[in-house]
Amino acid sequence: MTSDDPSIAARLDRYRASFDLTGRTALVLGAASGIGKASAEALAALGADVFCADKNRDGVERTAAEIGVHVKSAAHVVDAGKAEDVAALADAVRKFSARLDIAVTTPAVHIRKPFLDYSDEEYDRIAGLNLRGVFLFLRTFGRIMRDQGHGSLIATSSMRAMTLEPGLAIYGATKAGIIQLVRGLASELGSANVRVNAIVPSIVDTALVAPLKGRPDIFGKLAAHTAFNRWSAPSEVATAVAFLASDASSYVTGSALMVDGGWTAIDGPPTGLTEIARN
């Protein structure tokens, strides 16, 4: 068998095509900034038309306009924690496209505060968006994908689902809950050819952490928890989203894909091998 055997060439073409999203329609909730914006860009780069949604009108319209030069796009303002807003989002998506192949949700909020000092209102704010909001999203767009017989749902968890520090118990609990929502729904929608997965980032260098850059001691200490001794770029998380959105991950469902730079694999900051040898 020679290297130019047609069957080999065809197989190579199939591998390349498995990442192509041309002709697909994607919804990205949280597209105004950070991981959501980068995910919208990544999906558009692979050929998908992208419906952008966010609470931030200016930001989401800017994202849609930027990628709209290359693919079909639209912007929609939504409060991800409100059932009526998510229902209206679904109606808008149906008008945008007759099919929905990919649906990604990224919004979250946290309050760093001791567990015993949390008020009922603060708990409701965190759980209302982070967990209930994801539930509303997965239920709404899971129904659409179940009825059409295909699709990929992607939620955003956090390495705080696995490892915590003081003040993040409530946030971490919601992020752990997202992984269980994903696993449960994946077990129910596999027969409908719908995949459900989560991405699990650690520290991502976005505009939200800009104040930390003024505290290089803290910024660097957090970076040192990763194997690479650096923060991730939003684009590095977005490429994981693109993988889960594409046919390249056709046998992946119910997973929590770690994109954490090794944070959860390391018990404390990495130590150089030369230092280990000396000790």
What is the C-alpha separation between 276 and 150, in angstroms, rounded? 51
pLDDT for 2 equals 53
pLDDT for 279 equals 44
Query: Mean pLDDT across the chain, nearest whole number?
Result: 93
> Does residue 69 lie within any of the structural domains?
yes
> Does residue 219 lie within any of the structural domains?
no
CATH of the domain at 109: 3.40.50.720
Per residue in 106-142, pLDDT tens? 999 989 999 999 999 999 999 999 999 999 999 999 9
Q: State which residues form the domain around 43.
A: 6-207+233-261
Joined together, the tokens standing for residue 43 give 């999906």
Beta-bridge mates of residue 27: 51, 103
Per residue in 74-88, pLDDT tens? 999 999 999 999 999
Q: Residue 266 pLDDT more than 90?
A: no
pLDDT for 20 equals 97
What is the number of domains present in the chain? 1
HEC profile of the chain: CCCCCHHHHHHHHHHHHCCCCCCCEEEEECCCCHHHHHHHHHHHHCCCEEEEEECCHHHHHHHHHHHCCCCCEEEEECCCCCHHHHHHHHHHHHHHCCCCCEEEECCCCCCCCCHHHCCHHHHHHHHHHHHHHHHHHHHHHHHHHHHHCCEEEEEECCHHHCCCCCCCHHHHHHHHHHHHHHHHHHHHHHHHCEEEEEEEECCECCHHHHHHHHCHHHHHHHHCCCCCCCCECHHHHHHHHHHHHCHHHCCCCCCEEEECCCHHHCCCCCCCHHHHHHC
Q: How confident is the model at residue 278 (pLDDT cuts 50, 70, 90)?
A: very low
Q: pTM above the 0.85 mark? A: yes
> Does residue 243 lie within any of the structural domains?
yes
> Does residue 224 lie within any of the structural domains?
no
What is the C-alpha separation between 193 and 4, in angstroms, rounded? 34
**251 belongs to the catalytic site:** no
> Does residue 171 lie within any of the structural domains?
yes
> Does residue 198 lie within any of the structural domains?
yes
> Does residue 201 lie within any of the structural domains?
yes
> Does residue 49 lie within any of the structural domains?
yes
Q: Which residue among 15, 118, 123, 171 is the active-site one?
A: 171
